[in-house]
Amino acid sequence: MSEQTIDTMLLEERRYPPPPEFAAQANAQPDIYDRDFDEFWETEARERVTWFEPFTKLYEWEPPYAKWYLGGKLNVSYNCVDRHVEAGRGDKVAFHWEGEPEDDRREITYADLQREVARFANALKELGVRKGTPVAIYMGMVPELPVAMLACTRLGAPHTVVFGGFSADSLSGRMVDMQCEVLITQDEAWRRGSTVPLKQTADDAMADAPNVKTCVVLRRTGGDVPMQDGRDHWWHDVVEGAADECPPEPMDSEDLLFLMYTSGTTAKPKGVVHTTGGYLAGVAATHYHIFDLKRDTDVYWCAADIGWITGHSYIVYGPLCNGATSVIYEGTPDYPDKDRWWEIIERYGVTILYTAPTAIRSHMKWGPEYAERHDLSSLRLLGSVGEPINPEAWVWYRDHIGGDRTPVVDTWWQTETGMILITPLPGVTTLKPGSATKPFPTVAAAVFSESGEEVGPGGGGYLVLKRPWPAMLRGIFGDDARYRETYWSKYPDVYFAGDGARIDEDGDFWLLGRVDDVMNVSGHRISTIEVESALVDHKEVAEAAVCSRKDSTTGEAIVAYVTLKGGAEGSVEKLEELRNHVARKIGPIAKPANIVFTPELPKTRSGKIMRRLLRDVAEHRTLGDTTTLADPTVVEEIKTRAESDRSED
């Protein structure tokens, strides 16, 4: 929580009230804030979700354990697909899919989706998948990814989708933790005109995850991949001849829907548990009110990857439950040129765009001329998620993409919260660039001081949630102690989010970033310790300390301080080798932007690495208090080395 962030916030005086025409037609009207907690979530669940058996109790709260919609039975794929077809909307487009290679496009209607989901579910059944069978999915942004997820939910098989940029180690770690029996992947993925070898990585991962007995492989690029007899099956072979109908399994509201692994303050990612009824009602309700979805006319595009929680909640489950028409794009925003996104918006007439500040800053850097080449007048609403958005990026987004016309909703939430919790409502809220504004109706967000006092308007501290919400995590898979410790030990019975926040005089929230050892690179959480462990895993590394510095595009960038074994000196080659080693261990997103080689790390007399000082060095600040260091000369040495690295590049 730097002073600077706070200053910027106080100087930010621009205000954007909702345009009257938008306000008049908005799904959420001002009285939404007056609705009663129980009434709100009972009504939302009945209006937006079809239940095979109605719930008998709204929720049960025995801190820190919540249950929602008790007694209710439902099926997620039925809600996301079949009921729209049954209601006569089978011809409506569910996904406009655009591949990265140009002219590679598909239109998938709800009827198409129903057929594909049923057939693939039948194929999985044939391969032994049953209610409760854990399935891993490791794919790029192809239409078969949501099909695979929905097929799992149809059978009641919990899934974990692993982002296609993660390494074999990251994939196997997750598959072992969840005890997955099946892995669904593809030959290769397209990325910026070249291919990413997903099946090859999956093979390496399966070598370390003997629990995986079956692998289904989608042919995407047609690249040559070895298939292991008895274990590996082509997607097109297993769906051939599979029936078009597959009855959806009635699931209990509290049955496990999926795990999403996320970084915390230790090296081992946490399997965040999401269950069925509360999650679906939570994402459908927020998607409807915050994005003001008009399902018959809107074309909605969340440009995140389905491999992260944003894609689960706001590409797949929320929008499909609401019967939306969405865009899915396979590739990068700058392929073949930097106007690819704007071309897509023009082509499909996208009306709602949801993306991350890091993407907005990339587009800012490239310049507004790329957006100016295209007609973006279909856009009526913009959204942002993943990290605090700086006011300049917010205003640029509204002006250059939103034509100085659209509201921008800055939505705060987490993998753990499952759904958006702090956000403007586009027809109600007066927007302030850089502020996520108000808690969503019924959400009891607050800011607490270190000692647990609630801080009023004008104050700052830690963001907490004082009441449960339907899509909240139900635990950490297989590690209850960690669940209690991470979220519920700082304050009794109150959820600790790990973010700093301030509330201004109007009661608007300003998020100030993480307060723990978790970095936020391009809107994704990476723990310092995870990267340190990957570095120390290299045979020549004796010790490593990792911190982040501010970066104008990725928000934060990773800086590593490394001591080599035997007092060896670093080199440019060694630096590249270590960066690649981290990419192999975790994934390219975790690659340090800089590595400083140093004979010693700054430690206290008890041996704790002082990351605070390393951050000072990384951000070229005057060093803070060094008196508790065992050897104060160490940090001066590091500083000199870091400075000389900089002068070289």
Binding site for ligand WT7 (CB under 6 A): 262, 309-310, 385-388, 410-415, 436, 497-499, 511, 513-514, 520, 523-525
Judged by CB, which is closer to ligand WT7: 41, or 496?
Answer: 496
Between 262 and 429, CB nearer to ligand WT7 = 262
d(CA 206, CA 199): 10
Sequence-distant (≥ 6) Cβ neighbours of residue 144 within 8 angstroms: 116, 120, 186, 218, 235
Q: Measured between alpha carbons, how far is 475 from 195 in angstroms, rounded to an integer?
A: 37
Residue 249 or 410: the one with the smaller Cβ distance to ligand WT7 is 410
Cβ proximity to ligand WT7: between 143 and 269 the closer is: 269
Q: Residue type for 619, please? A: E
Q: How far is the CB of 356 from ligand WT7 (least distance, A)?
A: 7
The CA distances from residue 288 to 291, 431, 528, in Å, are 6, 19, 36
Helix, strand, or coil (residue 465): strand
Q: Smallest distance, Å, CB 385 to ligand WT7?
A: 5
Q: In 3D, which of 22, 5, 36 has the Cα closest to residue 510?
A: 5
Indicate the length of the chain as a whole number: 649
Residue with structure tokens 């080659």?
573
Provide the minimum distance between the beta carbon of 218 and ligand WT7 in the complex, in angstroms, as a whole number.
Answer: 26
Q: Which is nearer to ligand WT7, 254 or 387 (CB)?
A: 387
Say how far apart CA 75 and CA 52 lie, in whole Å: 8
Q: How far is the CB of 9 from ligand WT7 (least distance, A)?
A: 12
Smallest distance from ligand WT7 to CB 360, Å: 12
Q: Are 350 and 378 spatial neighbours (Cβ–Cβ below 8 Å)?
A: yes
CB of 519: closest distance to ligand WT7 in angstroms?
10
At which residue do the structure tokens 């693939």 appear?
Answer: 120
Q: Where are the beta strands (DSSP E) in 17-154?
A: 57-62, 65-70, 73-74, 93-98, 105-109, 135-138
User: What are residue 465's DSSP bridge partners?
Assistant: 445, 495
3-state secondary structure 493-534: CCEEEEEEEEECCCCCEEEEEECCCEEEECCEEEEHHHHHHH
221/435 with CB nearer ligand WT7:
435
Reported as half-sphere exposure (CB side, CA atoms, 13 A), residue 172 has a value of 17
Q: How far is the CB of 311 from ligand WT7 (least distance, A)?
A: 9
Alpha-carbon radius of gyration of the chain: 24
Q: How far from chain centre, in Å, is Cα 367?
A: 26
Complex with ligand WT7: residue 202 or 421, whichever CB lies closer: 421
Closer of 153 and 522 to ligand WT7 (Cβ) = 522
What residues does 382 pair with on adjacent strands?
353, 408
Q: Which is nearer to ligand WT7, 113 or 395 (CB)?
A: 395
- Residue-wise burial string across 348-365, b where 16 or more C-beta atoms lie within 10 A, e elsewhere: bbbbbbbbbbbbbbbbbe
For the bound state, the minimum distance from the C-beta of residue 263 to ligand WT7, rounded and expressed in Å, comes to: 8
What is the distance between the alpha carbons of residues 213 and 127, in angstroms, rounded to a whole number?
10
CA distance 313 to 286: 10
* CB of residue 4 to ligand WT7, shortest distance in Å: 16
Q: What is the largest CA-CA distance in the chain?
A: 74
Phi, psi values for residue 383, rounded to 5°: -135, 160
Closest CB 332 distance from ligand WT7, rounded Å: 19
Q: Quickly count: other Cβ atoms within 10 Å of residue 648's Cβ.
A: 6
Which parts of 75-109 fold into alpha helices (H)? 76-77, 83-84
Residue among 1 and 455 whose Cβ is closer to ligand WT7: 1
Strands 408-410 and 524-527: unpaired
Residues 6+ apart with CB under 8 A from 249: 75, 131, 154, 155, 156
- The minimum distance between CB 309 and ligand WT7, in angstroms, equals 5
Separation of alpha carbons 412 and 434, rounded Å = 11
If the CB atoms of residues 90 and 498 are measured against ligand WT7, the closer one turns out to be 498
Query: Is 5 or 122 the residue whose CB approaches ligand WT7 more closely?
Result: 5
